[in-house]
């Protein structure tokens, strides 16, 4: 599904990613952990194609095709979804309007007809119910005035509607209360299938109790310094990053 090969990237001329190799197969969930500032969000932006994040070496293959020359919207339509660490507010644009445009942009790319308003509403309401989100959020402006947790839940709601092939969740668990964490994790698990993959960026092993990863990676200073199974997260929780980072240095 996703193959990252010797990826180097700069932001504002500064080297942030310094040689990342990572392969996620269809159906797998990989967790990315690592200290603040290690480059986790940067990796997610580079995968999503954000302007200003320049790949200087290496390649990213998605289903065998290089992503490097694709615009962010093309990558999104190919099935890459990023749940933002800091979701953005868009004043005056109803969540429903926004999401329906997104759903239809993706459908169009797949050669499907637009989803009509009625079907959209029905589907949206069903997904919201699963996520225990109030339907009022459909008519509210995108993320505007949402609490931190509500924003995160809204990201998962969008993901549920868009059904991406590869979901990248950047600290979606931060700011969620315990109940919300479970609900959001269920939302992610509901999408789990042999054709879909996910990259879950988190600081807390607790999330991984609910979304059980196949592989855990530790990112430090723009490199993956350790890769292991689910137990690696437990080890990090107990000991912190100091030992691993020291070993790698």
Partner 1 sequence: MAANAQTIETVEGLAGEYKYGFVTDIESELLPKGLSEDTVRFISAKKGEPQWMLDWRLRAYKAWLRMAKEKGEPGWAKVSYPEIDFQDIHYYSAPKKKTLKSLDEVDPELLATYEKLGIPLKEREILAGVAVDAVFDSVSVATTFKGKLKDLGIIFCSMSEAVREHPELVQKYLGSVVPVTDNFYATLNSAVFSDGSFVYVPPGVRCPMELSTYFRINEAKTGQFERTLIVVDKGAYVSYLEGCTAPMRDENQLHAAVVELVAMEDAEIRYATVQNWYPGDKNGKGGIYNFVTKRGACRGARSKISWTQVETGSAITWKYPSVILQGDDSVGEFYSVAVANNAQQADTGTKMIHMGKNSKSTIISKGISAGKAQNTYRGLVRVMPGAAGARNYSQCDSLLIGDRCGGHTVPYIEVKNRSAKVEHEATTSRISDDQLFYCRQRGLSEEDAVSTIVNGFCKEVLQKLPMEFAVEAQKLLGVSLEGSVG
Ligand X SMILES: Nc1ncnc2c1ncn2[C@@H]1O[C@H](COP(=O)(O)OP(=O)(O)OP(=O)(O)O)[C@@H](O)[C@H]1O
Binding site for partner 1 (CB under 8 A): 48, 50-52, 71-73, 76-77, 81-82, 84, 87-94, 96-102, 104-106, 109, 114, 117, 141-142, 158, 162
Return residues touching Mg ion (CB under 5 A).
40-41, 85
Among 2, 7, 9, 16, binds ligand X (CB under 6 A): 16
Does 152 bind ligand X (CB under 6 A)? Our answer is: no
3-class SS at 207?
helix
Q: Interacting stretch for ligand X, rule CB under 6 A, among 11-19, 20-28, 55-63, 178-186?
A: 11-19
Helix ranges, 110-226 (H) = 117-130, 148-162, 178-191, 205-210
Tell me the C-alpha to C-alpha distance, in Å, between residue 181 and each of 23, 81, 170, 172: 27, 19, 14, 9
Give the CB-side neighbour count of residue 50, counting CA atoms within 13 A.
Answer: 16
Q: Interacting stretch for ligand X, rule CB under 6 A, among 40-48, 65-73, 102-110, 236-244?
A: 40-48
Q: Please, which residue, 40 or 217, has the CB nearer to Mg ion? A: 40
| Rounded Cα distance, 197 and 131, in Å | 20
Among 11, 94, 121, 141, binds ligand X (CB under 6 A): 11
Q: Interacting stretch for ligand X, rule CB under 6 A, among 10-18, 59-67, 191-199, 223-231?
A: 10-18
CA angle 168, 23, 56 (to 5 degrees): 80
Does 229 bind ligand X (CB under 6 A)? Our answer is: no
Phi, psi of 247 (to 5 degrees): -60, -40
- Shortest distance, position 169 Cβ to ligand X, whole Å: 12
Q: Please, which residue, 94 or 248, has the CB nearer to partner 1? A: 94
| Rounded Cα distance, 219 and 67, in Å | 22
Number of residues that bind ligand X (CB under 6 A): 13
Among 30, 40, 75, 152, binds ligand X (CB under 6 A): 40
Does 37 bind ligand X (CB under 6 A)? Our answer is: yes
Cα dihedral sign, 235-239-244-247? negative
Please return the burial class of 26, using the count of CB atoms within 10 Å of its CB with bins 0-12, 13-18 and 19+: middle
Give the list of residues 6+ apart from residue 160 with CB closer than 8 angstroms, or none: 127, 130, 131, 187, 190, 191
Q: Please, which residue, 97 or 130, has the CB nearer to partner 1? A: 97
- Shortest distance, position 35 Cβ to ligand X, whole Å: 7
Give the list of residues 6+ apart from residue 25 with CB closer than 8 angstroms, or none: 1, 197
Q: Please, which residue, 33 or 167, has the CB nearer to partner 1? A: 167
Residues in contact with ligand X by CB under 6 A are 11-12, 14, 16, 34, 36-42, 85
């Amino acid at each position: 599904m996703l193959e990252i090969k010797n990826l180097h990237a700069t932001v504002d001329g500064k080297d942030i990613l310094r040689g990342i190799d990572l392969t996620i197969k269809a159906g797998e969930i990989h967790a990315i952990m690592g200290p603040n500032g290690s480059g986790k969000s940067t990796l997610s932006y580079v995968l999503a194609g954000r302007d200003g994040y320049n790949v200087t070496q290496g390649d990213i293959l998605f289903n065998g095709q290089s992503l490097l020359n694709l615009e962010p919207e093309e990558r999104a339509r190919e099935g890459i979804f990023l749940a933002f660490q800091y979701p953005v507010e868009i004043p005056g644009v109803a969540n429903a309007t926004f999401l329906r445009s997104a759903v239809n942009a993706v459908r169009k790319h797949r050669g499907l007809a637009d989803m009509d308003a009625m079907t959209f509403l029905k589907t949206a309401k069903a997904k919201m119910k699963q996520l225990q989100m109030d339907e009022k959020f459909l008519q509210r402006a995108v993320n505007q005035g949402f609490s931190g947790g509500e924003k995160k839940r809204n990201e998962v709601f969008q993901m549920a509607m868009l059904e991406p092939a590869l979901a990248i969740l950047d600290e979606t668990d931060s700011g969620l209360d315990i109940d919300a964490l479970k609900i959001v994790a269920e939302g992610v698990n509901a999408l789990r299938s042999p054709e879909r993959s996910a990259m879950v960026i988190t600081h807390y092993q607790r999330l991984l109790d609910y979304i059980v990863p196949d592989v855990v990676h530790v990112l430090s200073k723009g490199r993956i310094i350790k890769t292991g199974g689910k137990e690696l997260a437990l080890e990090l929780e107990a000991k912190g990053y100091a030992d691993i980072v020291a070993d790698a240095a």
